[in-house]
Structure 1
């Protein structure tokens, strides 16, 4: 019994100080908020194409993207809850934590995000047209996501958030290459 108590004392003494809680304007909080919104659109586009094509390769990719990004989105929203921070904060523009203007010239909320008109076009498309449009939109979407995740890698405090961001960079760059091949197979750029 004495040994077990000693082990707990040693383990307690070796712990780092309590983890810091990000502030609302921190890169960590900004990344969690903005990437949660970004991921939600990827999930939406993936469900749209799943219902608009019978192609198993595209449906499998869409399924993987939807599941991965829904899971990551849940983690990021959970972090905000854990930190006691709002999921949306009025007066703070998306991407402000990166020093970027939020709205792009095409009216998208954040870089890489599809516009409402593009989402409507995806909803109307079917078969090969839906596949190509999805792959094109998701490639641009992933490029915007990689840019944002790289911003967290360089600005977020080392830890779980930054590790997740680096994982996003690696995975989405790989999926961009896969989608380029899938577009080639469909005779599209």
Structure 2
């Protein structure tokens, strides 16, 4: 209820309809759709590794990531419902970021953003920055023990780095304060987990 009240009272003068709700092509809608898909893969990977290792530290991290990102994805999809917008779009993923200025892009990790743009297929869960490929997910499903732990940590590190850049884009482009705050929370939380995973990889004789 608190989220709904904040949303309804926020300023959406840009990217909004006359009724104050975001347009289908707005940064608000695009980020909500793309980050929902991005988060869903993180949840999937976390459930996979849970069944591939008995390591308490990795399983605890996987639980935390799955819980946080499932909750955030639910919020994003709930907003799309509130706005009366479809959860999918025929526009390529990341289309909402095309309005970022060159100054905004300078501080971003272009390696994690590789693949953005016209090469994307319609929004059907196709790859976005940092997302694992189908073959990488298959490899994770087959790995066991330490091998599964290391692969999960490496894949999730890349996934988080891509997610951070997407969230930074939302901080720059999204006008609604509630969604902007969520994006900032994602940046802070995932950057902290990136450092944690680097330490966990080092403890296992690997690097990100």
- What's the TM-score once normalised by structure 1's chain length? 0.86
Secondary structure of 2:88's counterpart equals coil
Residue number in structure 2 paired with 1:8: none
1:136-181 Cα deviation digits (max 9, x unpaired): 0000000000000000000000411000000000000000000000
Greater Rg by CA: 1
Residue number in structure 2 paired with 1:66: 66
- Aligned CA RMSD, in angstroms, stands at 1.8
Alpha-carbon contact 2:27-2:170 (below 8 Å) kept? yes
Residue number in structure 2 paired with 1:7: none
Superposition deviation, residue 102 in structure 1? 6.4
Pick from 192, 200, 206 the counterpart of residue 182 of structure 1: 200
Question: When you count helix as a share of all residues, which structure comes out higher?
Answer: 1
1:5-40 Cα deviation digits (max 9, x unpaired): xxxxxxxxxx96886211111111000000000000
Matched, 1:109 2:95: no
Consecutive unaligned residues of structure 2, counting only runs of 5 or more, are: 1-7, 13-19, 99-115, 121-125
Q: Go from structure 1 to structure 2 and tell me whether the alpha carbon gap of 1:175 and 1:73 turns closer, same or farther (over 3 Å shift).
A: same
Residue number in structure 2 paired with 1:123: 141
Query: How many residues are treated as equivalent by the alignment?
Result: 171
Alpha-carbon contact 1:95-1:102 (below 8 Å) kept? no
Superposition deviation, residue 43 in structure 1? 0.1
Q: How does 1:1-189 map to 2 (within 5 A)?
A: 20-90=20-90, 92-99=91-98, 100-101=116-117, 109-189=127-207
Residue number in structure 2 paired with 1:12: none
Q: Go from structure 1 to structure 2 and tell me whether the alpha carbon gap of 1:180 and 1:102 turns closer, same or farther (over 3 Å shift).
A: farther
Question: Post-superposition, which runs of at least 4 consecutive aligned residues in structure 1 deviate over 3 A?
Answer: 15-19
Q: Go from structure 1 to structure 2 and tell me whether the alpha carbon gap of 1:103 and 1:129 turns closer, same or farther (over 3 Å shift).
A: farther
- What's the TM-score once normalised by structure 2's chain length? 0.79
Superposition deviation, residue 103 in structure 1? 5.1
